[in-house]
Each structure stands twice: as structure tokens, then as C-alpha cells.
Amino acid sequence: MPTIDISAFDGDDPAASARVVDAVRAACETVGFFLLADRGGVPEDLVAGALGASRGFFERPLEEKMRVASLRKGYIPVDGCDNAVRPTSLHEKFSCSRVDLDAIDVSDPYYDPSASAQAELYFGEDNRWPDAPGGFRHAWETYYVAMESLTRRLLRIFARALDAKGGDDFFVDRCRRHVSNLVALRYPPLHPDDDGTTERVKPHTDPTDVTILAFEHGPDGLQVLPDGAGDWIDVPAVPNSLLVNLGDVTRFWTNDAWRSTRHRVTCTPRNEGEGNEGNQETDDRLSLVFFHAPDYDALIDCQDIGHAVVNADVPRRYPAFKSGERSHFNQLVRNKQGLPDRQTLREDNSRGD
């Protein structure tokens, strides 16, 4: 699990920039996860502010939180939804989507909920913001914008690492109208008699191109299983870092050249200490996750990238598809149709369709 400092990528030293690209390429080819040193340039107080606002919201009374309840943009309580990846009894969450909709031309059919089912799915609801704690909306909107900027930077690194057609903006050009979600996930404490539960989050891959995570107290219990690994590997706690992982969209886009790695969250007991010997109760867990997704109508076609992923020795493995077909929101439609969640893995850890 490498820790990478990307600060030199846009600097004046071509050799240092190339080293950043090489390090990111190696991480994406092998494990599909890496840690960003110094939070990728995102200020510490900004991350702490968003996490603190999330903690403050989850500590509000349930009745108050339910005022902003929504399956798409807002609050989902414990036992509040069907979820194949996170047992619904083991988490609550709050989410928002694009925070700049007041500056968008809603007459554009792409954003007009009445124009298509896809537009309605992503833009048919407004973000719901709680009244308390004070400053919640500002903290979240500021953090969301910072994640947009950081993701654009990562996408430019990815394009250079793959020598993509069209240059550094290959991926950025397909994400200018992205449909990304920012999600706070709180996992309440578990007790020794809670049905022998060992996993807070089941083994899965993400339906994103890129996912960026911040943790209140480190990645406690988060594990990855790279292809070919014999056992699950703990994600290390690295101070002042953010965690990046690739999703299935990038895996398909790169024709399996880059990894969308299986991961899960296990239940870890509180550290034993004075007065706590033998206590298997777990602390609660809070994470802030930016699920980045390209434009919902972006064509994901590995042949568009170029020779690095499709060539005479490596034929195309996947048909082209629209990005929105793999998103979290699209799974809400699949749920109604009785179709399985594509994030989940079979018992042998193989992937579904």
C-alpha cells in the first residue's frame, strides 16, 4: 500500500513530475489503492471540518435527522434501506451530490429531469441540508469542491501514466459534468452478542472511476485483497493522508491494465487496556467518502485510451458502455428490477457482471 506525494506533478521539475506518474502507475497496476501524502494538498482544517460536521450531525436526535431523509441525497438511518454491500443494520449515512447546481443551465437536457430517465435519476432531487450543526452545509460544500479539484488532478496523472490519446485531459474531458456523491458513513458500536458479526462492509469493488476516503480515526478494519494475494491485507494508518482507490469504471476503461481491488471492513474490538481486559465491544466508525463518477453519458471504451491498454498483444476485453450504467444511483433502478448489486462478490470472491 504505497504512500505517494503528488505535489511535484504540476511543478517545474520534469524528472520529479515523472516520478509521481511512475509511482501512481505502479500502484494502479498492482493494488489499485494508494495513500496520498499531505492529503494530496487538501488543507487539514478543511478535512477536519467536514468530518467534525458529519460527527455533529450523526449525534443529533433521530427525529431531527429524519427531516432530511432521502435514499439519493440526504440521510438514511440504521435499517433505512436495502444494501447488499453494507448490512443496513450496521450503518447510517448522509450524502450529497453536485453542490454547484445553482450555476448550471437547467435548460440543458443533460440536467433537465424531465428530459430523460437518467437526468431524473441524478438531478431529479435537490441536496437536503440539515439545520444543525451550524456550518454543516458550508463544511460539506467546501470539502466537495476540494475533492472535485483533487480528482481532476489525479485524472490528469492517470492520463499521462497511460499515455492516453488527447493528452492529460483525456479523463477530465469526460468528467466535466460528473455525477459524484460525497457520503458520510457512520458504523455504530457493536457488542459481543451482535449475532457474531465479523464484517461491517462485505467484500466488494466500487462502481466509480475513483474513490477518495478520509477517516475520523484511521482506516480501522479496512482490508484489501489484491488479485493473487493469499490473504486480506490491512490498510495502514498513515497520518495526514487520504486514501485513493480505483473503481470498476477505471478497470473496464483500462481493459484490466489497472486494478479495481476487492475490499471490506471488518469488526475490530477496542484495544485492550486497563479496565478493558477482554472487552470485545467495538467503537463506532466514521468515514467520509467521495465517490467520483464521470458524466453519466460518458462512453467508457478502452480503445479510446490507446495502445497502453489495447494493442496487438492485448485485445479488447469489454464492450463500450455509458458510465451511468454502473453508478450507485443506477443500482437503485436495478434494485426495483430485482437485479443484483454489481459491487458485491460471489462466495469465491469472483466478480459478477
> pLDDT tens digits for 98-113?
998 877 787 899 999 9
Q: What percent of the chain has pLDDT over 70?
A: 86
Distance CA 208, CA 234 (A): 22
Look at strands 181-187 and 241-246 and give their pairing.
Answer: unpaired
Most confident of 16-20, 115-119, 222-226: 16-20
Q: Looking at residue 276, what is its pLDDT?
A: 46
Instruction: Give the model's confidence band at 80: pLDDT under 50 very low, under 70 low, under 90 confident, else very high.
Output: confident
Averaged pLDDT for residues 311-334: 82
Taking only the tens place, the pLDDT of each residue in 118-128 is: 999 899 999 99
Q: Which helix (H) or strand (E) holds 289?
A: strand 285-292
Q: Looking at residue 272, what is its pLDDT?
A: 44
Instruction: Give the model's confidence band at 188: pLDDT under 50 very low, under 70 low, under 90 confident, else very high.
Output: confident
Give the three-state DSSP class for 106.
Answer: coil
User: Where exactly are the structural domains of the chain?
Assistant: 3-187+204-218+234-261+289-336
pLDDT at 167 over 90: yes
Looking at the structure, give the CATH architecture of the domain made up of residues 3-187+204-218+234-261+289-336: Sandwich (2.60)
Distance CA 259, CA 351 (A): 13
Taking only the tens place, the pLDDT of each residue in 243-300 is: 999 999 999 999 999 999 999 998 876 554 444 444 445 678 899 999 999 999 999 9
Q: Looking at residue 247, what is its pLDDT?
A: 94
pLDDT at 335 over 80: no
Averaged pLDDT for residues 5-25: 96
Query: Which three cell numbers mark 278?
Result: 477482554
Q: Is 131 exposed, middle or buried (0-12, 13-18, 19+ CB in 10 A)?
A: exposed
- Of 145 and 331, which is predicted with more confidence? 145
